[in-house]
């Protein structure tokens, strides 16, 4: 049995008769080895893919060093986002304040790299040493004539989700400060893709689907996006929000202020991606768009389904565990695993909320274990208990699986294989197949399998 600390008992839920609600959205328990990152991490994930912006991390060096180029968010043009800029504060800065250094850094970097906008991420100690980041940004913006946006992402002031919110606030300011700019577009069907970060080119794939349906994507927030697109994206007729965690606050704000409705979708798994496309088509309710969508979905499914069935043959009845950042992704994964014949025995997220967990309960079968903000010891205990054969998670979870002698599939921001869309489902099926079927397990089979 897994060791679960008393204080965490309510963050673990076993789907048995009369199970109560899970407790979530808590600060991580002191002393546990949480798999969570921090507020800053949330902001960085969301804004990082904006390729022609300067991303300056204000603080000591670590936060910048550890996030240098770790995400596979691709750009079709400029790649300024891939350089990790930091004010690299030293002891004197900490004592006398880092404002001057921040100002100098902004000035020199804007002059050198000529970005279209700059984001300044405050990390943990900035609030404490009392830097007025806001006014430094204002000054730099005025002098250099580009938007310079503070992102309040002090790591300890919450969890990753709060970082999403801080990033959304910065994006909203970018739109709102430029709301007088004109936008000309003939196509009446305009959308923004929200919450997709173009990992391994996924945004490109999704954009292509919408284009084939006759729909114009103004921007993706923020996969392969550009500052100028974001400035104009408030002209869209509809926002398509993926990954409930990261962009909901912005979608709500855009609805409230600009009256743009939004729909929540997921691009993982055949059902969900088809649904994402149909929902958009139905929203515009245009005959040609609908026909094109049907055609697209049909031809894509025809293309991938026979191959998926082949993998399914090998995978039928195998057991999986899913532990990811946001709960929304977990639903899709459960469904996608079902498509290839697998059962999800353990499912959890770092940052899910009550509503997410309710939905998770609905899609999960009897006996499933649901965990919030788990740690390696707990997770490995549950994996043993449930005799799981593959773990789906992020890089931090990988060694847990490997040391136990079971398969692992990276479904996090660092992945280099596209897992979204129809092709993504095929890639996913292949990855699970090639993992589970590898002959290496013959030598390392855990004693419980």
Partner 1 sequence: MEKKTFVSTRNACKLCAPFGSTLVFKGIEGALPFIHGSQGCATYIRRYMISHFREPVDIASSSLGESATIFGGRKNLSAGLKNVMKQYNPKMIGIATNCLSETIGENIEQYIKEFQSNDKAYSKIPLVGVSAPSYKGTHQTGFHEAVRSVVKTLVKRKGERKKLLSILPGFVSCEDLRHLKEILEDFGLDYTLLPDYSETLDGVFWNEYRKIPEGGTPIRRIKEMGMSKAVIELGKSLLKSESAGSWLSKEFDIPYYNLPLPIGIQESDRFFKTLEKVKGFPMPEKYKKERGRLLDAYIDGHKYLFGKKAVIYGDEDFVASMASFVSEIGVIPVLCASGEDRLKETLKTLIDPKIMDQIEVLPSSDFMEIAEKAEVLKPDVFIGSSKGYFMARKMKVPLMRAGFPIHDRMGGQRMLHLGYKGTQMLFDRLVNIFIEVKQETSPVGYSYI
**DSSP per-residue letters across 201-244:** THHHHHHHHHHHTT-EEEEEEETT--HHHHHHGGG-SEEEEESH
129 near partner 1 (CB under 8 A)? yes
Query: Of 110-149, which residues contact ligand SF4 (CB under 6 A)?
Result: 123-124
391 near ligand SF4 (CB under 6 A)? no
33 near ligand SF4 (CB under 6 A)? no
Q: Which of 60, 115, 150, 195 binds ligand SF4 (CB under 6 A)?
A: 60
Q: Which regions of 379-424 does DSSP assign to beta strands (E)?
A: 390-393, 407-410
Q: Which of 53, 63, 140, 409 binds partner 1 (CB under 8 A)?
A: 63
36 near partner 1 (CB under 8 A)? yes
248 near ligand SF4 (CB under 6 A)? no
150 near ligand SF4 (CB under 6 A)? no
Going by C-alpha positions, the residue among 170, 218, 219, 230 that lies closest to residue 196 is: 219
61 near ligand SF4 (CB under 6 A)? yes
- Read off the DSSP letter of residue 29: P
227: phi then psi, degrees, rounded to nearest 5: -55, -45
- Measured in whole angstroms, how far is the alpha carbon of residue 156 from the centre of its chain? 20
Q: What, of partner 1, ligand SF4, none, does residue 446 touch, CB below 5 to 8 Å by kind? A: partner 1
Characterize the bridge pairing of strands 12-14 and 369-372.
Answer: antiparallel
Q: Which of 72, 155, 348, 421 binds partner 1 (CB under 8 A)?
A: 155
Query: Of 367-406, which residues contact partner 1 (CB under 8 A)?
Result: 376-377, 380-381, 383-384, 395-396, 398-400, 402-405
Is the separation of the CB atoms in 320 and 391 below 8 Å?
yes
Closest contact distance (angstroms) between CB of 183 and partner 1 is: 34
The 3-state DSSP class for residue 346 equals strand
Closest contact distance (angstroms) between CB of 28 and partner 1 is: 5
Closest contact distance (angstroms) between CB of 148 and ligand SF4 is: 20
Q: Which of 56, 166, 254, 388 binds partner 1 (CB under 8 A)?
A: 56
Closest contact distance (angstroms) between CB of 56 and partner 1 is: 7
Tell me what percent of the chain is helix, strand and coil, each rounded to the nearest 5: 50, 15, 35
Cβ neighbours, 10 Å, residue 353: 16
159 near ligand SF4 (CB under 6 A)? no
Cβ neighbours, 10 Å, residue 366: 8
Question: Where on the chain is the footprint of ligand SF4 (CB under 6 A)?
Answer: 38, 40, 59-63, 123-124, 155-156
């Amino acid at each position: 049995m897994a060791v679960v600390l008393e204080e965490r008992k309510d963050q673990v839920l076993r789907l048995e008769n009369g199970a109560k609600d899970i407790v979530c959205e808590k600060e991580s328990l002191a002393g546990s080895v949480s798999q969570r990152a921090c507020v800053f991490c949330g902001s960085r994930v969301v804004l990082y893919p904006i390729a022609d912006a300067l991303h300056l991390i204000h603080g000591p060096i670590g936060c910048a060093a550890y996030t240098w180029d770790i995400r596979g968010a691709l750009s079709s043009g400029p790649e300024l986002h891939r350089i990790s800029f930091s004010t690299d504060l030293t002891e004197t800065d900490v004592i006398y304040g880092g404002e001057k250094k921040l100002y100098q850094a902004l000035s020199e970097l804007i002059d050198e790299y000529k970005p279209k906008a700059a984001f300044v991420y405050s990390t943990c100690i900035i609030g404490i040493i009392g830097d007025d980041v806001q006014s430094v940004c204002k000054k730099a913006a005025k002098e250099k004539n580009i938007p310079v946006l503070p992102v309040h992402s002090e790591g300890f002031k919450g969890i990753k989700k709060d970082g999403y919110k801080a990033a959304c606030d910065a994006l909203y300011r970018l739109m709102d400060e430029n709301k007088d700019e004109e936008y000309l577009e003939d196509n009446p069907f305009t959308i923004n893709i929200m919450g997709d970060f173009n990992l391994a080119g996924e945004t490109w794939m999704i954009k292509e689907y919408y284009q084939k349906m006759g729909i114009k994507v103004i921007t993706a927030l923020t996969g392969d996006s550009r500052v100028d697109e974001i400035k104009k994206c408030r002209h869209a007729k509809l926002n398509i929000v993926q990954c409930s965690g990261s962009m909901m606050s912005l979608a709500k704000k855009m609805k409230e202020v600009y009256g743009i409705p939004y729909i929540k979708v997921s691009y993982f798994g055949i059902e969900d991606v088809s649904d994402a496309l149909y929902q958009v088509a139905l929203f515009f309710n245009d005959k040609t768009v609908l026909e094109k969508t049907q055609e697209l979905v049909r031809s894509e499914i025809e293309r991938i389904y026979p191959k998926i069935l082949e993998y399914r043959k090998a995978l039928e009845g195998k057991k999986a565990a899913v532990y990811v950042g946001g709960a929304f992704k977990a639903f899709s994964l459960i469904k996608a695993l079902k498509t290839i014949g697998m059962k999800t025995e353990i499912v959890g997220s770092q940052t899910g909320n009550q509503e997410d967990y309710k939905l998770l309960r609905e899609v999960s079968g009897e006996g499933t274990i649901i965990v919030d903000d788990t740690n390696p010891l707990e997770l490995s205990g549950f994996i043993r208990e449930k005799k799981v054969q593959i773990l789906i998670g992020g890089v931090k979870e990988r060694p847990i699986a490997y040391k136990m002698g079971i398969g692992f599939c990276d479904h996090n921001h660092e992945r280099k294989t596209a897992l979204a869309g129809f092709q993504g489902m095929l890639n996913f099926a292949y990855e699970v197949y090639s993992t589970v079927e590898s002959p290496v397990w013959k030598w390392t089979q855990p004693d419980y399998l």
